Chain A
Amino acid sequence: MKLADTIQFASGSLRGSPTRTLLMMLAMSIGVAAVVVLTALGEGARRYVIDQFSSLGTNLVIVLPGRTETAGIGPGLMSGQTPREITLEDAQALLRSHAVKRFAPLTVGSATLSRDALNREVVVLGSTSDLLEVRHMGIALGRFLPAGDINDATPVCVLGNQMKRELFGNEQAVGQWVRLGDRRFRVIGVLASQGESMGMRTDELVIIPVAAAHQLFNTSGLFRVLIEAKSRDAIEQVVHDAEAIMTERHGGERDVTVITQDAVLQTFDRILTALTMAVGGIAAISLAVAGVLIMNVMLIAVAQRIKEIGLLKALGAPGKQIRHLFFAEAVLLSGIGSVAGLVLGYTGSFIIGQVYPMLPVSPPWWAVLAATMTALGTGILFSVWPARRAAKLDPVAALAGK
């Protein structure tokens, strides 16, 4: 019997009982669709989180003072002193690494921001003009900190969006003077509203030049240095160079911690991928259930078509051919079922994407492949027994319908 004839005969028997066939395909397609939609959701969540993280800046490397050891005794304890601070000169020395594209030093403190009778306690960020690029911030009005000598303590400030509203309302803010602690600063810009990121509401910040911040808080140490690597591949080089430069400048002592945004990202990535797979796996159980359903219906089909099987044997079909016919039926059922399921799943994902536009919903290719394979696999696996049963029927008894 030729393959084309086998398929035609099998599809003929499927069409012979349309209700049964449709129900089985429905079960199969719901299983596949469930896998596709659920993994699409999981993948969407993963990409959403990663996008959020990436919006903080790309290829970021963060240097912070002090060494965080995961084991053993820290160097501070050994030498009996607190870790040395990172100075502006240290930060500038980082530019010696070719892998560094730009950097932004950060000093953080809090001070009272006041204008006339209005005053408010604010977080003050001391940095340089490059912070705008490094942290992917946006300017709503005016301009950001001026470029120039890092040691210039120009008395200018950039207000967070909320600060501007609280102090100036609808009035013109740029060009006005405000008071930070005991110093006067001229407002040169207002940040675009950005919401919360990395645990800091940029809307409630005031940003001033790093040198001015040092004077204001009377320190010389930096809270952090944000470095943007030239490319994703350069990140490792930056980490290595930053550690080497800092160690060299701190008298051979490694007393800084260098972390990468990538490392944090990868952790999230792993967690969310595992979650997606788990959800997909649970959905795949419905596919296995559909497989059992196929087996059940196939067994019934063997019983119902026992005379036909007997006849085929009498007409000269060997057991092998009978087996192939039932096998082909199962493959057709699960094949068409999974295609229908894919259509259903993609449609569902599309609708979810329309309802929640911020969620980048799209089923990952591996889930689509796995769902289709599982559908075909279970269909085939669970048809083996019924097919064998049909093939082994005694033709005389089968013809008599026994």
Chain B
Amino acid sequence: MIELQKVCRTFTVGDQQVAALRDIDLKLDAGEYISIMGPSGSGKSTMLNMLGLLDRPSSGSYLLDGGNVTELNDEQQARVRREKIGFVFQSFHLVPRLTAAQNVELPMILASIPAEERKARVQVLMQNYGLSDRADHKPDQLSGGQRQRVAIARATVMNPTVLLADEPTGNLDRNTGWEVLKLLEGLLENGITLVVVTHDAEIGARAQRQIHMLDGRIVSDESTQNEPK
């Protein structure tokens, strides 16, 4: 349901052309658990941004659910992001002046969902993620693990089909990181497609499908049968 065809992305740095992605062909099926690994500068973050429609390919095309999304305009792409894609970032990216609950509510505000429905959905999610007693706290009153859980709640509140996580455990200690990862993997039961970008081989190895990147190319794409632990 996600298909990249000959996708290239080049940046102009000074007067030099730097290729971040070179002729990427990739097909992801619904419900897959994919990890993208590689050293920094290998293009894995660009790949994630590409999948999340935050970046446009310099050439090639991106098909999402059969439709070519590279041809959509800004407003239509924003709609796709809103309805089908969830993001989890390494540095959480919570809005500091909003409470945990308000941060979770944000995507639904952008989607013009009525206030009562927003409240109900936020409440359910906060409960599921064990954040009920933290709902009215500002991000700076939360621990790192709690912040990332709020971020995950925000990423899933619109029931997206794809969840893109960029080093979701990067700013967390080991134990908290595992907890967050388990939370993300739990979403697979609902049929979500989970893409995790990491440079941590141990984390990457948990995915059934592991993609290694180097210099903007996919160097290996292996599927293992191991179930998430």
Contact = CB atoms under 8 A, between A and B. Distances in A.
Interface of A: 1-2, 5, 9, 12-13, 15-16, 307-308, 310-321, 395-396, 399
Contacts of A320: 74-75
A329 to B, nearest CB: 13
Interface of B: 49, 52, 54-55, 74-75, 77-83, 85, 87, 89, 93, 95-98, 106-107, 109-112, 154, 158
Contacts of A2: 109, 112
Contact of B87 (A16, A307, A315): A315
Contacts of A315: 81-82, 87, 106-107, 110, 154
A371 B137 CA distance: 42
B93 A311 contact: yes
A316 B75 contact: no
Given A311-B93, A316-B85, 11 more contacts: A1-B112, A5-B109, A15-B97, A16-B96, A310-B93, A312-B106, A314-B81, A314-B93, A315-B110, A318-B74, A319-B78
Contacts of A16: 96-97
A2 to B, nearest CB: 5
Contact of B82 (A308, A316, A319, A395): A316
Nearest to B75: A318
Given A314-B52, A316-B82, A318-B78, A399 B109 contact: no
A321 B110 contact: yes
A344 B177 CA distance: 56
B55 A311 contact: no
Contact of A312 (B89, B110, B158): B110
Contacts of B109: 1-2, 5, 9
Nearest to B85: A316
Contacts of A308: 95
Contact of A311 (B52, B75, B83, B95): B95
Contacts of A310: 93
Nearest to A314: B87
B41 to A, nearest CB: 14
Nearest to A307: B93
A316 B81 contact: yes
Contact of A12 (B74, B98, B110): B98
A313 B75 CA distance: 10
B93 A399 contact: yes
A315 B74 CA distance: 13
Given A16-B97, A318-B74, A313 B83 contact: no
B62 to A, nearest CB: 15
Contacts of B95: 308, 311
A317 B78 contact: yes
